[in-house]
Amino acid sequence: MKQWMVYLFAFLLVGCASSGVSDERARNSAKIHTELAASYFERGQYSIALQELGAAMQADDSYAPAYNVRGLVRMKLREDAQADKDFRRALKLDPNSASALNNYGWFLCQRGQPKESIAKFLDALKDPLYNTPDMAYANAGVCAIKAGDLVAAESYLERALILHPGMSEAQIGLAELNYNKGDYTMAKVHLRRFMQVYDALTPEHLWLAVRIERKAGDRNSAASYALQLRKRFPDSREAQLLQAGE
């Protein structure tokens, strides 16, 4: 009887070891596919990114980063209900993931919930090992502007610049902040600093630049930014606002 129990125990140990190796392989596979997906996402190859994420989840459906990245892809594709579900799933699996908290916060901010988003950024900043706290502060600042809290916004953006001097996201945030405060001179200072280091301009950037330069009295610069907006983004909401004379 004792000998049988020893053999059974040995068998269970082998089974556990085998299961552990299998789980590790599944997790490694999910990690590799997720990293590939993130690379494809950054290059704008969204369908391939989704395929890689599907493979990641098939290997290990409890791998939180896969849901975090898929949330970003679906956000980009404007599949908002699915993106929200993915971000929530990522945070359910890993509630303290600073990356998922930051990304979900940005999603909420961009989808009309700036007040709710700030709590996510601040939760992300609680992680002492978070490697991009400057981005969370900058995001919190931009979203605080959207929420109408300019005092908090300025504090967050200045903190981002302390951590990352010259940070473009913080510079454009401070340009918008000072524009809203009516300090067009400082708005222009931060706008120029932003333009010196950032070349992937969006319609939002150009429309803000037009308005700042108009208020600062620089008609030539305003006209230059307006021309760029019309030529590069003719179908954008900002180009329509420009056309309407707002």
pLDDT digits (tens, 9 = 90+) for 109-130: 999 999 999 999 999 999 999 9
Per-residue confidence band for 22, with pLDDT thresholds at 50, 70 and 90: confident
The domain ranges of the chain are: 34-95
**160-182 confidence digits (pLDDT tens):** 999 999 999 999 999 999 999 99
pLDDT over 90 at 219, yes or no: yes
CATH, range 34-95: 1.25.40.10
pLDDT at 20: 66
pLDDT of residue 244: 87
Say which residue the tokens 């930051």 belong to.
Answer: 102
DSSP-assigned letters across all residues of 138-189: HHHHHHHHHHT-HHHHHHHHHHHHHHSTT-HHHHHHHHHHHHHHT-HHHHHH
